Amino acid sequence: MDPYEGMSEPVRKAWERSLTNGRAARTALTRRRLLAGTGALGAGALLAGCGIPPAESGTTGEEAAPDLSGEEKVLNFSNWPLYIDVDDENPGSRPTLEAFEAETGIAVSYTEDINDNNEFFGKIRPQLAAGQDTGRDLVCLTDWMSGRLIRQGWAQRLDPANLPNAIANVEARFRTAPHDPGRQHSFPWTGIATVIGFNRRATGGDGITSVGQLLEDESLHGRISLLTEMRDTMGMVLLDMGKDPASFTDDDFEAAIARVQRAVDSRQLRRFTGNDYLDELNSGDIAACVAWAGDIVQLRMDNPDIDFFMPETGYLFGTDDLLVPALARRRANAEALIDHYYRPAVAAELAAWVNFICPVVGAQEEMRAIDGELAENPLIFPDEEMVAKGAVFRQLDEDEETRYEDMFAKLIGA
């Protein structure tokens, strides 16, 4: 298979440069790691924006401005920090993005201005509510926030005619989602798996096999952490209790909150964290934790004591999605970029850097030419067993989201 098939000569050169530079100088930071030390602040921001706002004046369903892509070869793209490939020898260079620009002639203004879903929503909500352009043609948001924009009519419907690679190559389990049935408004940038991470040296060489063990094993007293992200932590606790995060009840959620509260009261729990669990897990101060799989992949590159476990009860699965905000001026340009990243060779290079789940069929084969070890890593390319264990946190209505976030904020002390 030729990874450069269909690419122009400038694009080939960009790819050859990115593949031969290697990854030796790569920073171990991830986009979630930049939230380190801001767990409580993040939770506060989450609570402040927890309810799904009602539709406001100027927002009467899906809105779209005239598409100026034909005359404006520009694309404004907002993403999370450290969530794209960079050139080792020139950290300011993003090879896959430059390949897109060389091929299409579209100049991309790439901004790493998304540090928290609710914080970013607070930035763009006034314009969306007023029926105005946010100044962004493409954004990357976690699935539940993507769902909020879609429900409000604040995301444009994508044109399948402009997405041949995306439609052909999106992996089957990503083709539909509770927040965007039929993928009419969004496509995944990456998949996110929430698992158990642990430090074998800190646990005496033993693995951690369940969330219940985190919450109740006295040998881990004071050395475990949970995430400040409500859906990740509570979804994993619900699974451990035999409940399906896709269909739990109020009583189920309250029981899960009470279970975590016992761990808080007994000081079994060291603390709730954002991405700052990484340093403590690496040092062994945290022996085990609820963790994001992409972080564990990166941490293991430098520390062989770091490992992960997918509980028999399952793990929580989600996505970070690309979508076009309402009234964005250049939808077709945004669709071209989405389609670019659904080429297997492009997707493989991106996955080699971000280390989260790759949603593109054929990318695993291309990854073997970049990094054979990553190509076989189930946290990037899940096998059938891992796929089968993935569970999705269900969509919440306005009342549920307000109540659940309020209970969780009180639990973590936000």
CA distance 403 to 405: 6
Closest to 176 measured CA to CA, from 359, 328, 299, 5: 359
User: What tens digit of pLDDT does each residue of 274-309 get?
Assistant: 777 889 999 999 999 999 988 898 898 889 999 999
CB 36 within 8 A of CB 275: yes
Residue type at 239? L
Closest to 171 measured CA to CA, from 394, 373, 389, 380: 380
Query: Which domains are assigned to the chain?
Result: 74-185+324-342 (3.40.190.10), 192-317+395-412 (3.40.190.10)
Please tell me the predicted confidence (pLDDT) of residue 414.
Answer: 63
User: What tens digit of pLDDT does each residue of 41-97 get?
Assistant: 333 333 333 333 333 433 434 556 789 999 999 999 999 888 999 988 887 899 999
Please tell me the predicted confidence (pLDDT) of residue 157.
Answer: 97
In the chain, which stretches have pLDDT less than 50?
1-61
Place of tokens 């409500």: 230
Please tell me the predicted confidence (pLDDT) of residue 397.
Answer: 87
